[in-house]
Amino acid sequence: MKKNRPLSSQNQKTVQTLTPQITAACGSLKGKYAVVLDGGKTTIYISDKSREAEIIERYKQRRTR
């Protein structure tokens, strides 16, 4: 059974450098592209700019039902 040991100073530096990256990934708009739908009433953010036309078309199909 392993004992709980505090992180060494080297590991703490690693954790400190990774924390901002993890925080930025959770709920952040960094690296995302805005897609404006419904005449500006709805805005979504996607990570793949090449799928913008597909998403707009799918949104239009859902709105007409």
Confidence band (pLDDT; 50, 70, 90) for 28? Answer: confident
Q: Looking at residue 33, what is its pLDDT?
A: 92
DSSP letters for the chain: -PPP-PPPHHHHHHHHHHHHHHHHHSS--TT-EEEEEGGGTEEEEES-GGGHHHHHHHHHHHHH-
Q: Looking at residue 59, what is its pLDDT?
A: 92
Segment 14-37 mean pLDDT: 73
Residue 54 has pLDDT above 90, yes or no: yes
Confidence band (pLDDT; 50, 70, 90) for 5? Answer: low
Which residues, including other chains, have CB under 8 Å from residue 47's CB and lie 6 or more apart?
31, 32, 33
